Chains A and B, each alone.
Chain A
Amino acid sequence: MTFSLIPLLPELTLLAALSLILLMVALYPSQDGTAAYRLTQLALWVALLALWLTQDIEEPQLIMNGMLLRSTSTLLMQSAALLALSLALLYGRASLIRQKLWQPETFMLFLCSTLGVLAVIGAYHFVPLFVGLELMALPLYAMVALRKDDALSIEAGLKYFFLGALASGFMLYGISLVYGATGSLGLLAIAHLAEGFGSSNTLLLLGLIFIVAGLAFKLSAVPFHMWAPDVYRGAPTLVTLFISTVPKLAVVVLLLRLMSGPLSSLLTEWQTMLALLAVLSMIVGAVVAIAQPNLKRMLAYSTIGHMGYLLLGALVGNTDGSSAAMFYILTYALSNLVAFGVLLSMNETSDGDSKNADGKITLSRGSDLEDFRGLYQRSPIRAVLMTLAMLSLAGVPPLLGFYGKFAVIAVALINGFVWLSIIAILTSVIAAFYYLRVVRLMLFSSRSEGEGEGEILPAIGVIPRTVLTLNGLALLALGLFPSVLLDTTAQALAWTFGLL
């Protein structure tokens, strides 16, 4: 039994960078994050390069004894994850420095989690899958609580940790039941075995339910969403961006993979459960976001809502549905990057820093909606980019976000999920309201007092600004030529379906 390590080059690159940073920290304990940051970016791009060079994109292949899958869809999603992290770090660099998180450890955590993401996207066996999930999740708990002196950060970290651990437990329990039902942990083998069961196998069904619960938590689908607003709010914004984007890519792949392959015999049960989750997520996401005074919190509910739409596409359970869901998550990630990119360019201060536990903790500034009042006058570029992001998230043509909604709702409706589609459009109208509120505050309102502006709006570096602008324009450009992304996704899936 021999196998080549070449296909693992991307993962290995990240691992190498991780180790190198660890070594650097050991050797030069007092250094700041500059070197680690550069190394991380380098590692990400090298990994991206390696990904594209080592893949034979025509044929999906199982490597490492059937543990991992390499296919066009994993290539796409892994690339997306790496790219998203790279952009996120670029946008969040200044923010890290301001929040005194400019340390090598920060980047180690990011790399570690991303390694988990790559593993999950590639995993075709429950062992690497579970290990990947944990590898992805555990650093996140630490990252959320990275601001060790910020009460909100710690609170968020704890909440995320406990609930995340519980969800991991659900997931694992579910895996164990599936193992019990089939006697195998390899997805390919399970797929073959489960085909004969139909939906009569209690263990398999129970297992499915636990797994869905675990996945729903990762996706922050209602009612497994409760962590999301608090964590989004409490975590350093860069971490929030990461949580809302990169792991979601992995979890979507996981969901689609389990649904289309190993557990496809239970499609009706999948659909019923996902439909319930989707409806609740769409409604809660749209409705509760309206009452949020804080942008990060609002975006948490926005994510919840978006996951509802994504599930709408996913639950269809065929190639079209899967590619729609995958396309959706990509459009969402791109739009989200812009929104958070703008948010990261603002200076967040936390008045809670200095208070102790007995005192009342006032929440921080810099991410409240009020801080965006009259933003256009003070910083047009931020306001315009944020507007693009909000309209894209709201799904207004001709921005990219529209096509995401277009794809999932089209697929759902054509496949007969009429009521879900109607709920989807009703909630997207409600959702449009809160996205527009941000636009309205930035563009239509003016700020009366002028104090504290420099503090909130530091200058943005040339490179982040350029890249962020390009990212924002990409929402429009891809909106005019959506086929670039849509065809890529669809083809990636078309070539790999059955072995997603």
Chain B
Amino acid sequence: MPGLEPTLTHYLLLAAALLVISLVGIIANRRNVLVLLMAVELVLLSANLNFVAFSAYYNDLSGQVMAMFVLATVAVESAVGLALLILLFRRRGNIAIQTLDVMKG
């Protein structure tokens, strides 16, 4: 169906939607650090989607190379994030975000 053929704009809108979802997820989530982690990764992935889409659009490989690098980075980031999460849990016994307010002002 020619009308349903996804164009660049659709991909970009999808990526933008993903970005918005993840931002809302970060701001609105007040309980669970794990969800926060997922939302943060989603930001990077939405950008990745852009890269791939543009890469295809321009028929230029560098965007996809970038996406690969980003994927690797995302993985490392998750690892660091999870490690911190474990530390927090070990120290506190929970992973609630609201308790992270010792330092303020």
A–B contact via C-beta, under 8 angstroms: yes
Question: Which A residues have a C-beta under 8 Å from some C-beta of B?
Answer: 126-127, 130-131, 134, 138, 141-142, 145, 148-149, 151-152, 154-159, 161-162, 165-166, 168-170, 172-173, 175-177, 179-180, 183-186, 229-230, 233-234, 291-292, 297, 352, 356-357, 361, 363
- Please measure, in the bound complex, the distance between the C-alpha atom of A85 and the C-alpha atom of B90, giving whole angstroms: 31
Q: Are B54 and A127 in contact (CB under 8 A)?
A: no
Q: What separation, in Å, do the CA atoms of A177 and B46 have in the docked complex?
A: 11
Let me know if A130 and B62 touch, CB within 8 A.
no
Bound-state CA distance A134–B76 (Å) is: 9
Q: How far is the CB of A285 from chain B (nearest CB, A)?
A: 15
Known: A134-B77, A179-B54. A155 touches B100 (CB 8 A): yes
**Residue total for B at the interface (Cβ-Cβ under 8 A):** 49
User: How far, in angstroms, from A230 to B104 measured CA to CA in the complex?
Assistant: 7
Do residues B81 and A229 form an inter-chain contact, with CB atoms below 8 A? no
8 A-B pairs with least C-beta separation: A169-B43, A176-B50, A357-B92, A172-B47, A183-B58, A165-B40, A173-B47, A180-B54
Contact of B103 among A162, A173, A184, A233 (CB under 8 A): A233
In the assembled complex, the Cα of A162 lies from the Cα of B81 at a distance in Å of 8
Check B13 for interface membership: any CB of A closer than 8 A.
no
Chain B nearest CB, measured from A483 CB (Å): 41
CB of A357 within 8 A of CB of B91, answer yes
| B residues neighboring A (CB under 8 Å) | 12, 15, 19, 22, 26, 33, 36-37, 40-41, 43-44, 46-48, 50-51, 53-54, 57-58, 60, 62-63, 65-66, 69-70, 73, 76-77, 80-81, 83-85, 87-88, 90-94, 99-100, 102-105
| Alpha-carbon distance between A272 and B57 when the two chains are bound, in angstroms | 32
Q: 14 A-B Cβ contacts within 8 A?
A: A145-B84, A151-B91, A151-B92, A154-B88, A158-B84, A162-B81, A168-B43, A168-B73, A169-B46, A169-B47, A173-B19, A173-B47, A176-B47, A183-B58
Q: Which chain B residues border A361 with CB–CB below 8 Å?
A: 102
**Nearest opposing residue in chain A for B96, CB measure:** A357
Query: Are B100 and A179 touching (Cβ within 8 A)?
Result: no
Cβ–Cβ contact A166 & B43, under 8 A? yes
B41 to A, closest residue via Cβ: A165
Chain B contact residues, majority secondary structure? helix
Residue A176 contacts which of B51, B85, B93, B102 (CB distance < 8 angstroms)? B51
| A154: B residues at CB distance < 8 A | 84, 87-88, 91
Contacts known (A127-B66, A155-B102); A165 close to B60, Cβ less than 8 A: no
A159 to chain B: which residues have CB within 8 Å?
100
Shortest A424–chain B CB gap in Å is 25
Contact of A357 among B58, B93, B103 (CB under 8 A): B93
Taking the nearest CB of chain B, how far is it from the CB of A360, in angstroms? Answer: 9
Among A148, A165, A291, contact of B81 (Cβ-Cβ < 8 Å): A165
Q: Do the beta carbons of B47 and A175 come within 8 Å of each other?
A: yes
Q: Which residues of A contact B46 (CB under 8 A)?
A: 169, 173
Compute how far the CA of A361 lies from the CA of B65 in the bound complex, rounded to whole angstroms: 47
Q: Given the known inter-chain contacts A130-B73, A158-B100, please indicate yes or no for A169 contacting B44, CB distance below 8 A.
A: yes
